[in-house]
């Protein structure tokens, strides 16, 4: 399958960015992964570097319409963060992440 490319808003504590960053780091590090694997186990309940992900597609009235379940996903890239101090208005900070996946299933939301 093609990669799953997602642009997401980084939360104010950067928790969502750091979760993906640490997941990617645990997969690519050649150093001792004991600490990273323990952290992954506390998040996912196991030391697997793969996870399932669900995307809910909304109607124009913001009601759940379809559900896409991606199986055995793992991150392959995470974009940098553009820190801008000269912006006058409050802007959201986003990041792009790409995932590789084994399979996906599209279904109706029950």
C-alpha distances (whole Å) from 33 to each of 12, 45, 70, 85 are 28, 16, 26, 36
- Mean pLDDT, the chain, as a whole number? 86
pLDDT tens string 24-54: 887 776 566 666 666 666 665 655 678 899 9
Three-class secondary structure of residue 39 per DSSP: helix
pLDDT in the model for residue 41:
65
Give the closest residue to 44 by CA, choosing from 55, 56, 36.
Answer: 36
Domain 4-108 classification at class level: mainly beta
- State the distance between the two ends of the chain, measured CA to CA, in whole angstroms: 26
Q: Where are the domains of the chain?
A: 4-108
Cβ atoms < 10 Å from Cβ of 76: 15
């Amino acid at each position: 399958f093609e990669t799953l490319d997602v642009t997401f808003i980084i939360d104010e504590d950067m928790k969502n960015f750091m979760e993906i960053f640490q997941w990617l780091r645990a997969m690519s590090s050649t150093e001792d992964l004991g600490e990273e694997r323990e952290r992954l186990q506390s998040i996912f309940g196991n030391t697997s570097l793969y996870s399932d992900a669900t995307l809910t597609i909304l109607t124009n009235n913001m009601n759940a319409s379809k559900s896409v379940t991606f199986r055995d996903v793992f991150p392959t890239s995470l974009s940098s963060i553009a820190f801008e101090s000269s912006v006058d208005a409050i802007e959201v900070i986003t990041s792009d992440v790409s995932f590789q996946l084994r399979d996906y299933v599209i279904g109706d939301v029950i």
